[in-house]
Structure 1
Amino acid sequence: MAAIPASLVPAKTITGITTIPQFPENPKSIILQKCRTRRDLNQIHAHLIKTRLIFNPSLTENLLESAAIILPNAMDYALSIFRKIDEPKSSAYNVMIRALTYQQSPDEALLLFKQMCANAVLPDEFTFSSAFKACSKFIGLVEGQQIHAHVVKRGFQSYGFVENTLIHMYAVCSDMVVARMVFDGMPERDLVAWNAMLAGYAKRGCWEEVVSLFLKMREMDVGFNDVTMITALTACGRVANLELGECIAQYIEANGLKGNINLTTSLLDMYAKCGQVDTARILFDQMKQRDVVAWSAMISGYSQANRCYEALSLFNEMQKANVDPNEVTMVSVLYSCGVLGALETGKWVHFYIKKKKLKLTVTLGTALIDFYAKCGLIDSAVEVFGKMTTKNIVSWTAIIQGLASNGEGRRALEFFRLMQEAKVEPNDVTFIGVLSACSHAGLVEEGRTLFLRMSKDYGIEPRIEHYGCMVDILGRAGLLDEALQFIKSMPMEPNVIVWRTLLASCRAHKNVPIGEESFRQIIQLEPAHSGDYILLSNIYGLAGRTKDALKLRSQIRELGIEKSPGCSLIELGGVVHEFFSEDHEHSHSKEIYRATEEMIKRIKSAGYEPNIGDARLDAEEEAKETSVSHHSEKLAIAFGLINTQPGSTITISKNLRICTDCHNATKIISKVYKREVIVRDRNRFHHFKEGSCSCNDYW
Structure 2
Amino acid sequence: MATAVLPAAALPSPTAPAPAPELRIPRRVALCDVPQLHAALLKSGALATSPKSFHSLLEATALPDHGTTPAHLAYALRLFRLGPRPPLSAQLYNILVRAFLRAGHPEDALYLFVEMLDTTDVKPDQHTVACILKSCSSMCSLVVGRGVQAYAVKRGLVLDQFVLNSLIHMYASCGDVVAAQVLFDAVEEKGVVTWNAMVAGYFKNGSWGKVVEMFKGMLQVGAPFDEVTLVSVATACGRAGDARIGKWIGEYVEKNGMVGNRNLATALVDMYAKCGELDEARRLFDGMRSRDVVAWSAMISGYTQADQCREALNLFSEMQATEVSPNDVTMVSVLSACAVLGALETGKWVHSYVRRKGLPLSVVLGTALVDLYAKCGCIDSAIEAFKSMPLRNSWTWTALIKGMASNGRGREALELFSSMREANVEPTDVTFIGVLLACSHSCLVEEGRRHFISMSQDYGIQPRIEHYGCMVDLLGRAGLIDEAYHFIKAMPIEPNAIIWRALLSACTVHKNVDIGEEALKQIIPLDPSHSGDYILLSNIYASVGRWKDAAMVRREMDMRGIEKIPGCTLIELDGTVFEFFAQDSDHPQLREIYEKVEEMIKSIKMAGYVPNTDDARLDVDENDKEVSVSRHSEKLAIAFGLMKLRPGATIRLSKNLRVCMDCHSATKLISKVYNREIVVRDRNRFHHFKDGYCSCNDYW
Q: Normalising by structure 2, what TM-score?
A: 0.89
Matched residues in 2 for 1:101 and 1:231: separation? 21
Q: Which deviates more from structure 2 when the two are superposed, residues 202-211 or residues 633-642?
A: 202-211
Alignment match of 1:40 (pick from 37, 40, 48): 37
Change (3 A) 1:530 1:241: closer
CA shift for structure 1 position 351 = 1.5
Q: How far off its partner does 1:487 sit?
A: 1.4
Q: Tell me the alpha carbon deviations over residues 49-98 of structure 1, each in whole angstroms, 9 at most, x when there is no partner.
A: xx9x837777766666566556653244234348998x855445444544
Distance in 2 between residues matched to 1:343 and 1:484, nearest whole Å: 39
Question: Structure 1 residue 268: deviation in Å?
Answer: 2.3
Residue 493 of structure 1 aligns with which residue? 494
Q: Distance in 2 between matches of 1:404 and 1:128?
A: 56
1:358/1:56 CA distance change after superposition, 3 Å:
closer
Would you say the 8 A contact 1:566–1:655 is kept in 2? yes
Matched residues in 2 for 1:323 and 1:56: separation?
Answer: 45
1:159 deviation in Å? 0.3
Note if contact 2:429-2:461 (Cα within 8 Å) is conserved in structure 1: yes
Contact between 1:369 and 1:398, CA under 8 Å: does it hold in 2?
Answer: yes
Separation in 2, partners of 1:582, 1:488: 40
- Specify every segment of 5 or more residues in structure 2 that has no aligned partner in the other structure, as ranges: 1-16, 65-71
Report the CA distance between 1:620 and its aligned residue.
1.6
Q: Residue 661 of structure 1 corresponds to which residue in structure 2?
A: 662
Q: Quick check: 1:581–1:631 contact (8 Å CA) kept in 2?
A: yes
CA-to-aligned-CA distance 1:590-643 (integer Å, 9 cap, x gap):
110110110011011111111111112211221111111111110000000111
The residue aligned with 1:613 is: 614
Stretch moving more, 624-633 or 391-400? 391-400
Aligned pairs (5 A) from 1:262-301? 262-301=263-302
Query: In structure 1, what is the Cα distance between the partners aligned to 2:147 and 2:361?
Result: 37
Which of residues 22, 28, 33 is equivalent to 1:28? 22
State the distance in 2 between where 1:654 and 1:501 align: 19
Query: Which amino acid is the alignment partner of residue 195 of structure 1?
Result: N
For 2:262, the aligned partner's letter is I
For residue 434 of structure 1, what is the aligned residue in structure 2? 435
Q: CA deviation at 1:101?
A: 4.3
Q: Is the 8 A contact 2:48 2:84 kept in 1?
A: no
Task: State whether residues 45 and 63 of structure 1, in contact with CA within 8 Å, keep that contact through their aligned partners in structure 2.
Answer: no
Show the counterpart of 2:5. none
Cα deviation, 1:187-218, whole Å, max 9, x if unaligned, reads 33322222222222222221111111112222
**What residue number does 1:229 align with?**
230
Secondary structure at the aligned position of 1:687 is classed as: strand
For 1:28, the aligned partner's letter is: E
Secondary structure in 2 aligned to 1:669? helix
Give the Cα separation in 2 of the matches to 1:177 and 1:105.
Answer: 28
Deviates more, 1:449-458 or 1:506-515: 506-515
Q: Counterpart amino acid of 1:377?
A: C
SS at match of 2:290: coil
Over the matched positions of the two proteins, sequence identity in percent amounts to 56
The residue identity in structure 2 corresponding to 1:321 is T
CA contact (8 A) 1:38 1:74 kept: no
Which range moved further: 31-40 or 494-503? 31-40
CA distance in 1, matches of 2:39, 2:274: 56
Name the aligned partner's letter for residue 38 of structure 1: P
How far off its partner does 1:562 sit?
2.4
CA contact (8 A) 2:22 2:50 kept: no
1:62–1:412 CA distance, 2 compared to 1 (3 A): same
Q: Which residue of 2 aligns with 1:117?
A: 117
Unpaired runs of 5+ in structure 1? 1-22
Look up the equivalent residue of 1:231 and give its one-letter code. Answer: S
What is the match of residue 389 of structure 1?
Answer: 390
- Supply the AA of the counterpart residue of 1:267: L
Question: Can you list the C-alpha shifts for 1:278-319, whole angstroms capped at 9, x where unaligned?
Answer: 122222222333333222222222222212222222222222
Using the alignment, how far apart are the partners of 1:376 and 1:503 within structure 2? 27
Could you tell me how far apart the structure 2 residues matched to 1:110 and 1:502 are?
A: 63
Rounded Cα–Cα distance in structure 2 between residues aligned with 1:104 and 1:247: 34
Q: In the aligned structure 2, how far is the partner of 1:546 from the partner of 1:74?
A: 88
Residue 360 in structure 1 maps to residue 361 in structure 2: yes
Q: Secondary structure at the match of 1:288?
A: coil
Q: Rate the CA distance shift 1:137–1:526 in 2: closer, same or farther, 3 A.
A: closer
The Cα shift of 1:246 comes to: 2.0
Kept in 2, the 8 Å contact 1:179–1:197? The answer is: yes
Distance 1:211 1:592 in 2: 55
Please name the residue that 1:54 is paired with: 48
Q: 1:139 to 1:623 in 2, by over 3 A?
A: same
Range 404-413 or range 480-489, more displaced: 480-489
Counterpart position of 2:158: 157
Contact 1:292 1:325 in 2 (8 A): yes
Moved more, 630-639 or 227-236: 227-236
SS at match of 1:177: helix
**343-352 vs 178-187, which moves further:** 178-187
Whole-angstrom distance in 1 between the partners of 2:289 and 2:601: 54
Residue 191 of structure 1 aligns with which residue? 192
CA contact (8 A) 2:374 2:382 kept: yes
Whole-angstrom distance in 2 between the partners of 1:342 and 1:249 = 35
Bigger mean CA deviation after superposition, 126-135 or 407-416: 126-135
Structure 2 CA distance for partners of 1:523 and 1:65, relative to 1, 3 Å: closer
Moved more, 93-102 or 178-187: 93-102
Report the count of equivalent residues: 674
Q: Any residues of structure 2 matched to 1:359-438 within 5 Å, and which?
A: 359-438=360-439
Q: 1:192 to 1:536 in 2, by over 3 A?
A: same
The amino acid of 2:475's aligned partner reads L
Aligned residue runs from structure 1 range 317-356, under 5 A? 317-356=318-357
**CA offset at residue 452 of structure 1?**
1.2
Deviates further, 187-196 or 148-157: 187-196
Match of 1:563 in 2: 564
Q: Which amino acid aligns with 1:483?
A: A
TM-score, normalising length: structure 1? 0.89
Q: Which residue of 2 aligns with 1:16?
A: none
Change (3 A) 1:537 1:102: closer
For residues 98-247 of structure 1, what are the structure 2 equivalents within 5 Å?
98-102=98-102, 104-119=104-119, 121-247=122-248
Aligned equivalents of 1:548 and 1:59: distance in 2?
A: 96
Q: Secondary structure at the residue paired with 2:609?
A: coil
CA 1:258–1:533: 2 relative to 1, 3 Å: closer
Partners of 1:91 and 1:499 in 2: CA distance: 72
Give 1:386's aligned amino acid: K
In structure 2, relative to structure 1, the CA distance for the partners of 1:80 and 1:318 (3 Å cut) is closer
Instruction: Spell out, residue by residue over 1:407-450, the C-alpha distance to the aligned partner (whole angstroms, 9 max, x if none).
Output: 11111112212222222211111111111111112222221121
Q: CA deviation at 1:26?
A: 5.2
Aligned positions of 1:472-483 closer than 5 A: 472-483=473-484
Aligned pairs for 1:544-555 (under 5 A) are: 549=550, 552=553
**Counterpart amino acid of 1:186?**
V
Query: Aligned-pair distance for 1:538?
Result: 3.8
- Contact 1:475/1:502 (8 A) holds in 2: yes
CA 1:309–1:168: 2 relative to 1, 3 Å: same
5 Å-filtered alignment, 1:534-683, equals 534-543=535-544, 549=550, 552=553, 556=557, 561-683=562-684
Shift of 1:517: 3.3
Counterpart amino acid of residue 613 in structure 2: I
Q: Which amino acid aligns with 2:683?
A: R
Contact in 2 for aligned 1:68/1:78 (Cα 8 Å):
no
The DSSP-based 3-state class of the residue aligned with 1:508 is: helix
Tell me the secondary structure at the aligned position of residue 37 of structure 1.
helix
Contact 2:534 2:554 in 1 (8 A): yes
